[in-house]
Amino acid sequence: MASNVTVKSVLEKISVDHLECSICTNRFRQPKLLDCLHSFCLQCLQELRQSQDPSGTKLICPLCRRETMLKGSGVADLPNNFAFSALVDEVTMQEKLLDGQGSEIKCQACDEENKATSRCMDCDHFLCQECQKAHGRMTLMKSHKIYTLAQLRSGETVYKSKLREEVPKCGKHPDQNLNVYCNSCEQVICTTCSVLDHAKHSLSGLPEAVDKCKRKVTELVVKAHASQTELNTAIQKLSESRKELDTVFAATKTKISKKARQEIAKTRREEKKLSKEIDRIYKERTKAFEAAQAHSRKEVTKTEQKLDEVEHLTDQASCYEILEHQQKLLHNLSELTGKQPQQVPDKLTFMDFEEGERSLGRLVLEEEPKAAAKQSPRPTTFAAMEDLASHFAAIKTL
C-alpha cells in the first residue's frame, strides 16, 4: 500500500496540462513545439494546417492565435518536444506499474513476449526472469544495475524515459552527434560542421552554452516577475482608485439629496410664510369691501325709509300742512341727495406673485408702474388729449 502511495504522489505532482494535447485532449503523441511555446501532437498540427491553409507557410496556434512560420516539409520539420514525450512515457510507465501491477509490461530483451519482472538501468530494458538470469551469466552484463518491478513501484528508483538521453544527430552528418554550440549562428552543430562551416564563428561547448542560456533565461524571468508585480500593483491601485470613486460618488449623491431635502423644507417654510401673509392681506381687503358694502346698504335703507316718510306725509297731508312743512321736507330730501358711496381703491383688487431666483419669491401687492411704463406705449387717451391741445393752439394762432 505504501509503495502505491509513492507512485501515486509522483503522478499527482505532474500537472495534467503538461501531458495532454489541447486539440485532441489525449496524451501527447510526438509533440511538436510552436514559436509561442505551446505544444501539440504532430498529427493534430497536420490536421490543423489542413483546416487553416494547407498551402500556407504559417500555422496559427489554436490557444493563443500567435503565428509560427513553417519551413521545409512543414509541420514535420517543427522541433520535437522530447521533454513532453519523455514525461508521457514516464507517467504511462508509472501508471502501468501501479494499475496492472506490471503485468502488461513485456520483456524488451527477448522475443518471447514474456512478462517483465525487472529492469536493467544500463540496458534501459525491462527483463523477463530468463533474461535477468542471462544478465547474471554474461561477464559484460554482470555489473549492470537491475531493479525489480517492486523496487520501481516503491519509488526506490524512478523509471527514466530513454528519450531523455537521446542525443540528436546532425542533419548533414547523420553519424555525428550535435555537440557544439555556434554563438554566431545560434544553433547546435556537430564537430564536422564546426570545422567545415563555422570555423571563423564563436563556438562554445554545450555545458557552457547551456549555462549562459540558463543565466539569460533567469535574468528575463526575474524581469518578467518584476513586470508582473508592477502589473499587479497597478491592478491594486486601480481597484483602490475605483473604490475611491465609488466612495465620492456615493458621498456626492448624498450631498445632493441632503441639499434637495433642505431646499424642499426651506421652500415649504417660505410657502407657508407667503401663504399666511397673503391670507392676512386678503382678509383685510375683504373686510374693506364688506365695510364699504355695509355702509352703502345702510345709506340705501336710510334713504328708502326717508322717502317712504316723505311720500306718506305728502300723500296724507293737506296742502296747508305741506306748505307749512315745506322747509323740513326739502331739507330732509336734500340731505338724501348728497350721499356718497364709500369707495374701495382699485388697487385692492390687485395682487401678484413674483418668482425668486434664490427664494421662492415675493408678493406684489401694487402694480409697479415704472416697469410697465417703460415697456408699454403711451395710453391712447393721453395722446388724444395732446392732439386736441395742439389743435386749440392752432386755432388761437389763426
Q: Which residues bind Zn ion (CB under 5 A)?
A: 21, 23-24, 36, 38, 41, 44, 61, 63-64, 107, 109-110, 120, 122-123, 128, 131, 141, 144, 170, 172-173, 182, 184-185, 190, 192-193, 198, 201
* Helix or strand holding residue 89 (H, E): helix 82-99
Q: How far is the CB of 159 from Zn ion (least distance, A)?
A: 15
Q: How far is the CB of 194 from Zn ion (least distance, A)?
A: 8
**Structure-block grid coordinates of residue 184:** 554566431
Give the side-chain half-sphere CA count within 13 A for 294.
Answer: 6
The candidate with the shortest Cα–Cα distance to 39, out of 64, 57, 71, 15, is 64
Nearer to Zn ion, 201 or 261 (CB): 201
Nearer to Zn ion, 7 or 85 (CB): 85
Residues 81, 20 contacting (CB under 8 angstroms):
no
Q: How far is the CB of 111 from Zn ion (least distance, A)?
A: 8
Q: How far is the CB of 151 from Zn ion (least distance, A)?
A: 15
Q: How far is the CB of 73 from Zn ion (least distance, A)?
A: 19
State how far the Cα of 183 lies from the Cα of 206, in Å rounded to an integer.
11
Residues 138, 120 contacting (CB under 8 angstroms):
no
* Helix or strand holding residue 353 (H, E): strand 352-355
Nearer to Zn ion, 16 or 294 (CB): 16
Nearer to Zn ion, 7 or 28 (CB): 28
Q: What angle do CA 372, 376, 381 make, to 5 degrees?
A: 110
Nearer to Zn ion, 7 or 87 (CB): 87
The three state secondary structure string of 254-270 is: HHHHHHHHHHHHHHHHH
Nearer to Zn ion, 7 or 193 (CB): 193
Nearer to Zn ion, 166 or 311 (CB): 166
Question: Based on the number of CB atoms within 10 Å of its own CB, is 127 exposed (0-12), middle (13-18) or buried (19 or more)?
Answer: buried
Q: How far is the CB of 227 from Zn ion (least distance, A)?
A: 20
Q: How far is the CB of 143 from Zn ion (least distance, A)?
A: 9
**Structure-block grid coordinates of residue 318:** 293737506
* Helix or strand holding residue 385 (H, E): helix 380-397
The candidate with the shortest Cα–Cα distance to 274, out of 378, 166, 363, is 363
Find cell 491594486 and name the residue: 236
Q: How far is the CB of 203 from Zn ion (least distance, A)?
A: 8
Nearer to Zn ion, 3 or 151 (CB): 151
Q: Distance between alpha carbon 300 and the CA centroid of its chain, in Å?
A: 86
